Amino acid sequence: MSETSRFVVSSDWLAGELGAPDLKIVDASFYLAAQNRNADAEYLAGHIPGAVRFDHDKVADHSTSLPHMVPSPEVFAEAVGRLGIKETDRIVIYDGPGIFSAPRGWWLFRTMGAQNVFVLDGGLDGWKAEGRELETTSPSPEPVTFDAKVRVDKIIDLQTMLGIISDGSAQIADARSAGRFAGTEPEPRADMRSGHMPGARSLPSGTFSANGKLRTLPELRQAIEDAGIDFGKPIVTSCGSGITAAIITLALESLGHEDNALYDGSWTEWGSLEDTPIVTGPADPR
Q: Strand, helix or coil at 15?
A: helix
For the question of residue 237 being annotated catalytic, the response is no
Annotated active-site residue in 227, 239, 243, 283: 239
CA separation for the pair 198, 187 (Å, rounded): 18
Q: Strand, helix or coil at 248?
A: helix
Helix residue spans in the chain (DSSP H): 11-17, 39-45, 73-82, 102-111, 123-129, 158-167, 178-182, 217-226, 245-254, 266-270
Residues facing residue 119 across a β-bridge: 8, 93
H/E stretch holding 36: none
Provide the terminal-to-terminal Cα distance of the chain, rounded to the nearest Å. 33
Question: Active-site residue numbers?
Answer: 239
